[in-house]
Amino acid sequence: MRLIISLLIGLCLALEGREPPLGMWVWKQIHLESEEARGELLDFCEREEITHIDQHVSIKKGILLNAEALRNFIIKAAERGITVNALRGDKAMFFASNHELTMAAVKTIVAFNETLPDGKKLLGIKFDVEPYGSQEWKAGGDQRSQVMRDYLSYLNQVNAYLSMAAPGMELAVDVPFWWDKTEFQMVFEGQKKLFVEHVQDRVDWLGIMSYRRDPSETAKLVATELNYASKFGYLRSVAPSMETGNITGKEAYISFGGVPVQQFRSSLSSLRNTYANNPYVRCIMLHHYDSLRVYLEETEY
């Protein structure tokens, strides 16, 4: 069902000839906790033409924190034509030892979503799980291979659950651009593919952390995933991303923080134009609300 929905939406966008929409990560829940803060966030989205938000949510002992604030936010966002994902993330979240806990959190989110009014529900669940920060991944060899198998195994589990319990909810993940390297090729369930291709097989769409200032470089970093999507029909499955945080040192080049905002806007416009009429590009994701707002307001507003 989720694949059919994505297919129809992708085809509609292609027919309309639209540039890909914009999405944004929101990590702090403080932006949900008052009517004023929610209004500021949604006003910012409208001003910047952002129509999708990945909003981080916290769950403790089976309880969704700030549930009423999140509920109000999702409803207000829907009224403005803005979709919302529940965002979860931790580097060890997909380890086999954590599957049960991670699935319990999904069930909590699904139960919460069922309380929302029709037409004003969560779009889906997004996982920003970065296992390469763990010691197990860094160890390489069999330990890394097990981490990768655990990652895919969990995607199988959550996909099966959502298909049964919440077929209207999408499943998405964020991945690094370098998971398409041949060194991460693996056999899983009898199929030999790049690790990221195995991931794509199991989600509705994925955000790729393709952080670069040059839009042509960003496009190169997502080319393999886009090509795979086009071959297998997973429409609107890839979201290139841009970073706006204040990053210093040798990795400063990946972010627009510290460079003239005109450069950011020019690069964003160029990237959107590159993917105009491309049904395999879900959106362009911007990281993230706190840094982007400061970056733009300090220079423009």
289-299 confidence digits (pLDDT tens): 999 999 998 76
- Residue 11's pLDDT is 47
Structural domain spans, the chain: 2-299
Please tell me the predicted confidence (pLDDT) of residue 8.
Answer: 45
Given a cut of 80, is residue 301 above it in pLDDT?
A: no
Please determine, for residue 6, whether its predicted confidence score (pLDDT) is greater than 80.
no
**Percent of the chain having pLDDT more than 70?**
92
Report whether 108 contacts 101 (CB < 8 A): no
CATH superfamily of 2-299: Glycosidases (3.20.20.80)
Q: What is the pTM of this model?
A: 0.93
DSSP 219-279: HHHTHHHHHHHHHHT-TT-EEEEEE-S---GGGGGGB-TTS-HHHHHHHHHHHHHHTTT-T
